[in-house]
Amino acid sequence: MSAIPNDDQLLDAYSIAVTSAAARITPAVVNVESNGGHGSGFFFTPDGFILTNSHVVNAARAIHVTTFDGTRYEASVAGDDPHTDLAVLRISAPTQIAATLGDSDAIRPGQLAIAVGNPYGFQCTVTAGVVSALGRSMRARSGRLIDNVIQTDAALNPGNSGGPLVDSRGEVIGVNTAVIAHAQGICFAIGINTATFVAARLIRDGRITRSFIGLAGQTVPLHRRVVRFHRLDGQPESGVGQPLRLSSGVLVVSLEPKSPAARGGIREGDVIISFAGNRVANVDDLHRLLTENEVGQPSEIVLIRGSEKVEKSIIPAPADGR
């Protein structure tokens, strides 16, 4: 007579992956309450810093955070960036369990994606699905386009905003931020690589000052023939400088009228590979380079147009001065 299998033996590989990932991330997830509503967040450092969505806490008069063990804290806003719909909160409670952060550049469509949050106030709700697509763009409530957004079909509801999207290892790959109303299984998360860059600046300065060039882009691979022809994977023709070793760039999907990019001669369909002398392999690279230092300064932008390499000069404007 065979032995009766225990609960662990009854779990299939998918269930084991979801339960393991949820167990790893859940202690870092918090419930965020403000006069504007409810949302979620998660500790990304052990000394009380929490990542959440800007729209959850923006202009809130009072914010409270409830941790996994049920303790309620008053929270302060360390920094807020409506342009990426990200905010950092802090509570006076050190030695928290921080989430392990993954790499949103390494994820692939079809891989497991698990969302944890507090939809409608139901604490630490777990939903699972897959990464549906990468490189999406969505408009923040500020009106600025957020690029390189992750699309997932892991179910999100009001209250999930600001919670983590994790992979099968329980590592955070995104910050859940939005759903398409009246659609099923179309949800979005901001890539964790973008989120950590923004969070670091918010902790340091409380806000992010950006330069603005006025285009929406997404990361695309470069054709191998283009890479070889223009020596993007090796030493430049002059023999001076470091090799580029580029295999991807940023496709210009759309341009804002009369923007610095439009005035500088950039066109839809161009693929940006360099900005201000720095390599641009993906949208995150471009975001990092559009700092306050570029405002009003002529900046060389190198792009692939068809099969040709083209150089243009643009003068970025202050992001808040459009």
- Enumerate the active-site residues: 55, 85, 161
Residues belonging to the chain? 322
- The answer to whether 86 touches 145, Cβ cutoff 8 Å, is no
Q: Is 128 helix (H, G, I), strand (E, B) or coil?
A: strand
Angstrom distance (rounded) from CA 117 to CA 30: 8
Angstrom distance (rounded) from CA 99 to CA 51: 10
Q: Is the dihedral of CA 275, 281, 287, 293 positive or negative?
A: negative
| Measured CA angle at 123 (ends 50, 195), to 5 deg | 30
Angstrom distance (rounded) from CA 239 to CA 125: 56
- The answer to whether 22 touches 165, Cβ cutoff 8 Å, is no
Ramachandran area for residue 70 (φ above 0: left; ψ -120 to 50: alpha; else beta):
left
Whose CA is closest to 104, among 284, 247, 251? 284
What is the C-alpha end-to-end distance of the chain, expressed in Å? 76
- The CA–CA distances, whole Å, from 201 to 43, 78, 87, 209, 230 equal 16, 10, 11, 9, 35
Place of tokens 């699905």: 129
Amino acid present at 66: T
